[in-house]
Amino acid sequence: MGISNETMRAIIREYGGFELSDEELEQVKPEVDSYIEAMAETAELDLSDTMSSRLLRAAEGGSQDA
């Protein structure tokens, strides 16, 4: 599991990202691979009925009498 240098270069090129030298790509890759690996772990999760944590529930803070 991981991302190829070619794909990374294509993303930078097509989406106007920050240019990276070959050496820099190699340095960045462990962090990218680590994120991809972590996301792969969640593939088994059915998140269709899960709310985003972006939504705030009343019980998560706030008080009328503050």
Binding site for other proteins (CB under 8 A): 3, 8, 11-12, 15, 17-18, 20, 24, 27-35, 37-39, 41-42, 45, 47, 50-55, 60-63, 65-66
Minimum CB distance to other proteins, residue 20 (Å):
6
What is the H or E stretch that residue 35 is in? helix 22-41
Minimum CB distance to other proteins, residue 19 (Å):
10
Q: What does the alpha-carbon distance between residue 49 and residue 38 come to, in Å, rounded to a whole number?
A: 21
Minimum CB distance to other proteins, residue 34 (Å):
5
Q: What does the alpha-carbon distance between residue 54 and residue 42 come to, in Å, rounded to a whole number?
A: 18
What is the H or E stretch that residue 10 is in? helix 5-15
